């Protein structure tokens, strides 16, 4: 066992031990604790848990890699995900918390109808399964590289650990585990970034110092057949950049596993403060990611440029064993680098390895490498647990007990929730072993689905009292159906490339169009059909203001 494997094992065993201990001490015996942690999570802790839940394997493992190869255009992930969180925190979270239910389907069910609740539950399952596939694969990547475990077994190991702490304690256990996971992942992300910044520029603040290497990075990129790092719209057309950013933004605001987090605080005020702390915790990583991408790409290109394929750095051989790095067998010297296997470059590097490989590429000591591995697992597992809880609540709380066991007691509901989560983990493992794209791209698909299904229904449900059940149901079905159809159309199995996209719109960006379709259909159908009842408009009125306010006349619209 190498020194890197030893340190990786130490950090993973220690962190997993902490997660298991928290799970055992936080186990619950009632549904309120299982789904919303008894509404008793302190604001700072909830902010850290939201940060861990929201910053998935896509943020930790894949985002900096995408920025490294997309350059300026990679800012779509920064702007979309962070902008969406602000949108969620200000526009939706406090109102949903005041409503005071367990899940997003419960909100739309009370606001519209049982039909819309069912549609929302099905959409939550689809979105969450798509999202969790990326997390499972991210965990498998960590295990395969650092512990020489096949990716398949890596996914299974991560799933078993998640199963134990998620099934034991539900939201309560997941929340406190995510606080620990956030601590692990942010330390693992910042320490290498600071060390590399100090080594390369003499300034240990990566957010400030990475600008010093951009000129050299641009030169190296061109020399090795890549686009200029700082030039805009080189990898995607401007329209697609805008649409992907919008899809990620409104998709973030519609993610059920993040929204449910705001139900766990004691008060609406606590929900607002949780949003503030979460934004602070998220910013620590998101302001560092561009620097990590730039530094890692510079070190990578500088280390392989003009180097004989027989004398490449040790990290190339280490990662080649996982299949995520490959050297062209016909090349004697590395004169081109790409992240696209079809490009035929001398060296092909998968986006998803750059953060995990950055300490090795920069020549940092083995303990730092092991810490980063533990951080990558923490990021993947924290989000996966939240997603699996959404799947569990949608299947058991919003479907099974609504239609088949309406009189079930608390014990039976809790047991069914745990069974649903176990089955969800099995399906997630199967899909996570063979994901359809890079981790961040798979996650982007989930955001597009959330954007085209939940966001319009929630926003219109809160801010437009004239919106009715028929309109919401039609909008969700057509918006989500349109988005999924286009995503399937663009899959590689049909032999399509980026040149075949309609108007240049990528599958990551189609969610923004789907959201617009959803909103238009919802508004038109709502105006053509009867207005909601006075009871519904009074409920909407009650969540929009901090104190009671006289309702408008029945049927009045805003």
- CA 52 and chain centroid, separation: 10
**Which residues lie across from 326 on neighbouring strands?**
348
Please state which of the ranges 204-218, 258-272, 511-525 shows the lowest mean pLDDT: 258-272
Average pLDDT over residues 27-46: 67
- Distance, CA of 91 to CA of 94 (rounded, Å): 8
pLDDT of residue 550: 42
pLDDT over threshold 90, residue 520: yes
Neighbour order of strands in the sheet with 325-327:
325-327, 347-349, 337-338
Q: Which residue has the higher pLDDT, 352 or 504?
A: 504
Determine how β-strand 347-349 pairs with β-strand 337-338: parallel
- Distance, CA of 147 to CA of 142 (rounded, Å): 8
pLDDT of residue 548: 46
pLDDT of residue 47: 86
Instruction: Specify which of 6-10, 233-237, 322-326, 509-513 reaches the highest per-range mean pLDDT.
Output: 509-513
pLDDT of residue 440: 57
pLDDT band per the 50, 70, 90 thresholds, residue 402: confident
Token reading at 64: 């900096």
pLDDT over threshold 70, residue 505: yes
pLDDT over threshold 90, residue 528: yes
Convert the pLDDT of each residue in 439-454 to its tens digit. 556 777 888 898 999 8
pLDDT of residue 554: 41
Q: What percent of the chain has pLDDT above 90?
A: 27
Question: H helices then E strands: how many in the chain?
Answer: 25, 3
Sign of the Cα pseudo-torsion (426, 427, 431, 432, in order): negative
pLDDT of residue 556: 41
Convert the pLDDT of each residue in 50-76 to its tens digit. 888 777 777 887 788 888 888 999 888
Average pLDDT over residues 402-408: 73
Convert the pLDDT of each residue in 217-230 to its tens digit. 999 999 888 889 99
pLDDT band per the 50, 70, 90 thresholds, residue 295: very high
Please state which of the ranges 169-173, 202-206, 305-309, 448-452 shows the lowest mean pLDDT: 169-173
> For the chain, what is the mean pLDDT?
82
**Global pTM exceeds 0.85:** no
Q: How many residues does the chain have?
A: 558
Average pLDDT over residues 166-191: 80
pLDDT of residue 441: 63
Average pLDDT over residues 507-533: 95
């Amino acid at each position: 066992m190498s020194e890197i494997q030893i340190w990786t094992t130490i950090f993973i065993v220690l962190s997993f031990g902490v997660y298991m201990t928290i799970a055992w001490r936080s186990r619950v015996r009632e549904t309120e604790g299982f789904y919303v942690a008894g509404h008793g999570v302190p604001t700072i802790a909830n902010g850290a848990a939201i940060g861990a839940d929201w910053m998935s394997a896509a943020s930790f493992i894949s985002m900096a890699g995408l920025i490294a190869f997309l350059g300026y255009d990679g800012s779509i992930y920064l702007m979309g995900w962070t902008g969406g969180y602000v949108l969620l925190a200000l526009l939706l979270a406090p109102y949903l918390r005041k409503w005071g239910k367990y899940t997003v389907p419960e909100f739309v069910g009370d606001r519209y109808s049982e039909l819309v609740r069912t549609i929302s539950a099905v959409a939550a399952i689809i979105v969450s399964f798509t999202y969790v596939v990326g997390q499972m694969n991210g965990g498998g990547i960590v295990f395969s590289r650092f512990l020489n475990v096949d990716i398949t077994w890596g996914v299974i190991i991560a799933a078993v650990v998640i199963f134990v702490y998620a099934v034991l304690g539900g939201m309560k256990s997941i929340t406190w585990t995510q606080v620990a996971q956030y601590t692990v992942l942010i330390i693992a992300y910042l320490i290498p970034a600071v060390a590399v910044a100090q080594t390369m520029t003499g300034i240990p603040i990566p957010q400030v110092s990475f600008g010093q290497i951009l000129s050299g990075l641009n030169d190296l990129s061109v020399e090795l057949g890549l686009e200029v790092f700082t030039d805009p719209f080189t990898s995607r057309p401007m329209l697609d950049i805008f649409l992907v950013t919008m899809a990620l933004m409104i998709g973030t605001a519609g993610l059920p596993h993040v929204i449910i987090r705001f139900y766990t605080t004691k008060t609406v005020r606590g929900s607002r403060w949780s949003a503030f702390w979460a934004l602070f915790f998220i910013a620590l990583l998101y302001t560092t990611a561009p620097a990590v991408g730039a530094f890692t790409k510079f070190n990578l290109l500088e280390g392989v440029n003009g180097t004989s394929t027989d004398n490449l750095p040790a990290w190339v051989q280490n990662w080649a064993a996982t299949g995520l790095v490959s050297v062209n067998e016909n090349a004697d010297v590395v004169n081109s680098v790409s992240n696209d296997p079809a490009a035929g470059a001398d060296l092909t590097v998968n986006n998803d390895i750059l953060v995990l490989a950055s300490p090795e590429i920069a020549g940092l000591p083995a303990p730092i490498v092991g810490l980063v591995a533990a951080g990558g697992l923490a990021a993947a597992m924290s989000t996966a647990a939240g997603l699996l809880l959404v799947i569990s609540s949608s299947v058991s709380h919003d479907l099974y007990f609504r239609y088949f066991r309406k009189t079930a007691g608390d014990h039976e509901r809790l047991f069914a929730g745990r069974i649903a989560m176990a089955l969800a983990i099995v399906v997630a493992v199967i899909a996570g072993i063979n994901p359809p794209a890079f981790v961040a791209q798979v996650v982007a698909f989930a955001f597009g689905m959330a954007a085209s299904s939940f966001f319009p229904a929630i926003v219109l449900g809160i801010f437009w009292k004239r919106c009715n059940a028929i309109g919401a149901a039609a909008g969700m079905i057509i918006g989500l159906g349109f988005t999924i159809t286009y995503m399937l159309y663009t899959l590689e199995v049909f032999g399509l490339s980026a040149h075949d996209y309609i108007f240049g719109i990528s599958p990551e960006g189609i969610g923004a169009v789907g959201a617009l379709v959803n909103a238009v259909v919802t508004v038109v159908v709502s105006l053509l059909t009867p207005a909601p009842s006075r009871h519904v408009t009074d409920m909407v009125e009650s969540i929009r203001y901090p104190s009671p306010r006289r309702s408008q006349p029945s049927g009045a619209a805003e």
